[in-house]
Structure formats: structure tokens, C-alpha cells
Amino acid sequence: MELNKRMKTILAAVVHRYITTAEPVSSSIIAKEYNLDLSTATIRHEMYWLEKYDYLWQPHTSAGRIPTDKGYRFYVDNLMIKRYLKENEKREIIQIYKKNKELEETMKITSQLLSKLTHNLGVVLAPIIYDDLVRNIQFIPVGNNRVLTIIVTDTGLVCQKLINVSGEITKDRLSYLSNLINNKLTEKDINIINLKKILKDELDKILSFQERFNYIYDFLEDCLNFKSLKNKVYLDGRTNIMRQPEFNETIKLNYILSIIEEENILANTIRKCLGFRKIKVIIGKESKLKEIQSCSLVTSKYNIKGKPAGAIGVLGPTRMDYSRMISIVEYVSDKLSDILSEF
């Protein structure tokens, strides 16, 4: 099933052409526009076999050919010429990151950036911050029996949660508590996972007997169930994907709509498929998620201070410009890593 050189050339031409026009590619178009010095008949002959081997398919007998998922896969792995972003595009990206933003804002503009550059759906998974060191913790009373707890980590993440307090905690006592803890945080490196346990131990040591009421521990227990710590997803360019010609038919569109609304489904899919390599391309039916099997997904992991932290990606029709998508996703993830590591 080895493809010979000529078949590869033709496959590359078909993919290239289909990516730009979204219309089935005929033998005569290849002959005319790709200077292969071959007659249409010869090209047809090769296409015939490319179809037999499942790299191409036809919507009907008298139509041109369209790449299959396998065809795209072969193209991405073997034929595609890796391009790099132009200098002005790079400059534009850097420009956008130049102003200091806190984490939330940074995530948001990254998804906007991806969507704007690729004209597809931009996806950003917030960093998993289990390894983050806790910088600061604040307890602020709001109303009666309620405390707003804010945790700031060394990557600049701000988590907040509103907590019901069963007993009575005065403002002074709360600030005493947060001061105690903040001092501990300066002495030791405490990550967000250990926080609960360490806090308990430390507080046992520090607090006097009568202060060691149970509700303080219940309260801390409560504090640390921050839902928002994981699964935060940022999407931008939802409408880009809907404007693609392949989703003209409402039925096909409907299928994808659910994905666009249910951010977490997409996020989990990306999370599951993140492998060893930095950049990953998932083409059509390679995805286990039925709803996006007419789409491809290009993802890249990003780092914070060298450690893998999260991922960004682009979702678009399988007929996407893989080379360009990859270079954008790669460059943006590099810059994002830089920015986040600066904190």
C-alpha cells in the first residue's frame, strides 16, 4: 500500500486545492493548476488508486475527489510543508501580550487571538494549578455569617469562594487568621493540594486552645473545594465555525452546536488526548467525540516555568489549513508559556 512519489504529489495537490476552495477537485484542475506535466487521464488513473486505498473519495461519480480523514492524516504526517508565521503576524501576537494582564484576562485574549488568526474556534484550557504555590489567602466578611475567601497563587490565579459560617467569626478574628496563614505561606512553599492538610497542622500549633473550634476546620474544608480550579475553558469565535460552507445544512450544524455551548465536553476531550508530543492533530473520525467527527482539532500544550500547565487549540472543519493552524497554535502557545512564566 506504499504510495509512489507521483501519488503523493497528487494527494498533496488535492488536499491543497480542497483546503482553499472547499470544492471537489477534478483531474483537469490538478493538471491545469499544478504543472505536473501529466495528462488528466494519468492523474485520473492515480486518483482511482488513491480512492481504492482510501485516501480520497467522491461524493458522486461525476464529481471530483475529496480527501478522506486518512488522506488528511497522510498529508499532515508526510506531505505538508511546515510554514512559519510572517514577521508582522508574530509582532501582532507579541503586541497583544505586551500589556500586563492577570490570568483570567490572559486566557480570554488568547482564545480571541486564536479565533481571529485561524478563523476557527479558539479553545484555551486554563492551567491546572495543583502545583501552584499559594501566595496569599484572604478572608473577607460579607453580610451576616458569610465569608468571601480569596486565594492567590504564584501563577497569578485568583480563586474566590463564598462560604457560610455556622459559628460567629468576627472581622478581627478573620484577619488574625489570614495573617497567621499568610506568614506561614511566606516561610514555606505550600501548594494548593497540600494547603488543607498543612493549614490544619499549622493552625493546631499556632492557635490557642479556645480558638481551635471545629467550625474553623469545617470552614477551611469548605474553602478549598474550589470548583473553578479545574475545567475552566475559554472559547472564542463560535460563529467562525458556523460560517464554514460545510455546515450550511442546518442538520450538520446542529450536531456541532451542542459542543459549542457545552464548553466542558470539548475541554475534556482535549484533556484526554494530550499525549507526549507538544502539538497534536486530531482529524475527523480519529476523535472519539461523535459531535466533532466532521472537524479537526489542533492542540498544543503550554508550560509555566517549564512545567506543563494547560493546553490551547483550534477546532475547525477537517478541511482546514493544517500547516497554518499548526504554526499559529505552536507560536501562540510558546508566547503564552513565556507570559505565564514571567509571573
Other Cβ atoms within 10 Å of 52 Cβ, number: 10
Whole-angstrom distance, CA of residue 314 vs CA of residue 183: 43
Q: Is 71:55 a contact under the CB 8 Å cutoff?
A: yes
Instruction: Pick the closer one to its own copies by CB: 91 or 243.
Output: 243
3-class SS of residue 133: strand
Closest CA to 294 of 264, 319, 270: 319
Give 76's DSSP letter. Answer: I
Other Cβ atoms within 10 Å of 257 Cβ, number: 15
CB of 153 to its own copies, least distance (A): 9
- Establish if 70 lies at the interface with its own copies (CB under 8 A): no
Q: Please, is 114 exposed, middle or buried when counting C-beta atoms within 10 Å of its C-beta (0-12, 13-18, 19+)?
A: buried
Instruction: Pick the closer one to DNA by CB: 60 or 227.
Output: 60
Whole-angstrom distance, CA of residue 313 vs CA of residue 248: 24
- Establish if 239 lies at the interface with its own copies (CB under 8 A): yes
Selected from 40, 178, 191, 323, the binder of DNA by CB under 7 A is 40
3-class SS of residue 70: helix
Each residue 75-114 as x (binds DNA by CB under 7 A) or -, in order, gives ----------------------------------------
**N- to C-terminal Cα distance for the chain?**
52
Instruction: Pick the closer one to its own copies by CB: 85 or 163.
Output: 163
- Establish if 26 lies at the interface with DNA (CB under 7 A): yes
- Establish if 304 lies at the interface with DNA (CB under 7 A): no
Each residue 180-219 as x (binds DNA by CB under 7 A) or -, in order, gives ----------------------------------------
- Establish if 249 lies at the interface with DNA (CB under 7 A): no
Amino acid sitting at position 129: I
Give the footprint of DNA on this chain (CB under 7 A): 24, 26-29, 37-42, 44-45, 47-48, 51, 58, 60-65
Give the footprint of its own copies on this chain (CB under 8 A): 100-102, 104, 135-136, 138, 140, 142-143, 146, 148, 150, 152, 154, 156, 158, 160-164, 171, 186, 236-239, 242-243, 248, 250, 253-254, 257-258, 260-261, 342-343
